[in-house]
Structure 1
Amino acid sequence: MRLQPAISAFVHTATLLPATGYLRLSQIVGKPATDNSPAIPAIYPVCKSTWWAGVKAGRYPQPVKLGTRITAWRVEQIRELIERGAA
């Protein structure tokens, strides 16, 4: 069975993720380039509000608070999310 190009790109991205660690929201949903920083390509291309709505609804993993102003997600959970979407 041949995967659709978009799904295939997600699966490829999942294999490039580190084995363990954390990802910030901009690393997951991407971020456009600005004058001060380059663009960050999306691993899971949805907008921030869709992501947070999905977290609230239980479709996406719950975040981990690493500090007062630092929210992140476990790489293992993001990889599972991608692989679940590709199935």
Structure 2
Amino acid sequence: MEQSTSQGAIPDALKNFDSLPDSANVRQPVVQALIGCSAATVWRMVKRGALPAPRKLSERVTAWNVGDLRKMLAPDLEAA
């Protein structure tokens, strides 16, 4: 899967988010776009537990699990 590196371009992982398996991982720019916030806000949300914690895939790669993000983004069905 080719991913654009230019500023403002929509990453392929975001374009195809609905078709990704729950076991897939996405990087921070995709998470930012999903919830519409800055990088600092993503980390504040992780710290307070409003966003699932990312996984450290290697020394320099941190990613979020797609299944965990979908659970967080899904509307609360029990409240309805």
TM range (shorter): 0.5 to 0.7
Task: Report the identity percentage.
Answer: 28
Please list the CA deviations of residues 6-60 of structure 1 after superposition, one character each: whole Å capped at 9, or x if unmatched.
xxxxxxx8x714122101001111xxxxxxxxxxxx1221111111011011111
C-alpha root-mean-square deviation of aligned residues, in Å? Answer: 1.7
Q: Which is bigger in relative contact order (C-alpha 8 A, separation at least 6)?
A: 1
Deviating above 4 A after TM superposition, structure 1's stretches of 4 or more consecutive aligned residues are: none
Residue aligned with 2:34, SS? coil
Question: Where does structure 2 lack aligned partners over 5 or more consecutive residues?
Answer: 1-14
**Partner Cα distance (1:59, 1:74) in 2:** 15
| Equivalent of residue 36 in structure 2, options 34, 38, 45 | 45
CA contact 1:64–1:73 (8 Å) conserved in 2: yes
CA contact 1:17–1:75 (8 Å) conserved in 2: no
| Residue in structure 1 matched with residue 30 of structure 2 by the alignment | 27
Residue aligned with 2:64, SS? strand
Q: TM-score, normalised by structure 1?
A: 0.62
| Equivalent of residue 63 in structure 2, options 64, 67, 72 | 72
Q: TM-score, normalised by structure 2?
A: 0.67
